[in-house]
A = this chain, B = another copy of it.
């Protein structure tokens, strides 16, 4: 059922529209904001004055404006507020402290020792985050909140991983509640792909793009969807699971119930298995010696490095993965008719350009709407930090992004 819109909500919405125009620009003016947003000059003036009083926006220098008098340039005050982002990956915990401009001021990466207790890990992450804030001299009342990103699916109501991809130790751990207790700040939680998409929206390739997807490749593969200027999560908050698109109907069974899912063919574990099988056959490769020393040495990172160095075995497997990913990119393009596809996540390190090139090739020649427009592919600049930066962006996004749903929420 639809909800009615009312005036106080319109006020908050318009503040966020103005903030968003300032944030998306590299210095803008009241006149430009009015032109871009359709708001009256007076409304923009009132909102900007309030944002300056609150210390969120600052006037810095001036912008030339043709014949008229120079206009004051408006920018977000990066020190107005801060957010902490924590990414709980199955193998690593990454933490960042971010300012209002989306810049990371401090980072921490820690490998997760095997068998560690989730609550101990959450407590340790909270301690690390608090010590990063203290080293930066940021008082706690300037921290808007903490964002946590985990491999999905997430149960937002419970603040935990709801139905785990694999029955791992994160299943039904109340991450949000535990983290709030240990860090003493409000926590927002989302899956890694959604967090990465929101991070790109806030300060990356998605800044001025109404419709894009972030294909996040970590231990698994999932997508965060930005449709019509809003994150799209679906009715049970589980949209974007393109990792479970069947790409090889006779492929191996996937834990989801399908056979030959994208994730089953393209995950780091699948790549390692494939390369090991080739090396066991004695194929010529720079990795052969390493494999003889101990197959475990030929891990996903070593394979991607070898592929980037044109090793024939590694490159053959990575190229096949690139074709599967490119096929899925075409499915996404046909389904959602996006402007942009962003790829990122830990498991594209060293091979991102191979994946991007193949996806672009397919996107130029296969989607039905290619004569109307070609879907662009961008590699996330956030590297391994993508989900942690995204997690911090969750906080800024929840506080400041214009959301038409807020106009009408009862």
Q: Is there contact, CB below 8 Å, between B331 and A245?
A: yes
| A251 (CB) vs chain B CBs: closest residue | B249
Q: Is there contact, CB below 8 Å, between B239 and A336?
A: yes
Per-residue 0/1 for A15-26: is the Cβ within 8 Å of any B Cβ (1 yes, 0 no)? 011101100100
Asked if A365 is at the interface of the complex by the 8 Å CB criterion, the answer is: yes
Chain B residues with CB under 8 Å of A17's CB are 2-5, 408
Q: Give min CB distance, A225 to chain B, whole Å.
A: 8
Given A331-B331, A338-B234, is A1 in contact with B368 using a C-beta cutoff of 8 Å? no
Q: Is there contact, CB below 8 Å, between B5 and A13?
A: yes
Chain B residues with CB under 8 Å of A20's CB are 2
CA separation between A227 and B233, bound complex, in Å? 10
Given A238-B369, A404-B405, is A245 in contact with B10 using a C-beta cutoff of 8 Å? no
| A260 (CB) vs chain B CBs: closest residue | B249
Asked if A232 is at the interface of the complex by the 8 Å CB criterion, the answer is: yes
Asked if A281 is at the interface of the complex by the 8 Å CB criterion, the answer is: no
CA separation between A36 and B4, bound complex, in Å? 9
Most chain B beta carbons < 10 A, residue from A2, A238, A258, A365: A2
Q: Interface on A for B, CB 8 Å cutoff?
A: 1-7, 10, 13-14, 16-18, 20-21, 24, 36-39, 43, 153, 162-163, 165, 208, 210-211, 223, 227-230, 232-242, 244-249, 256-258, 327, 330-332, 334-339, 365-373, 402, 404-405, 407-410
Q: Which 4 A-B pairs have the closest CB atoms?
A: A234-B337, A38-B410, A4-B39, A404-B404
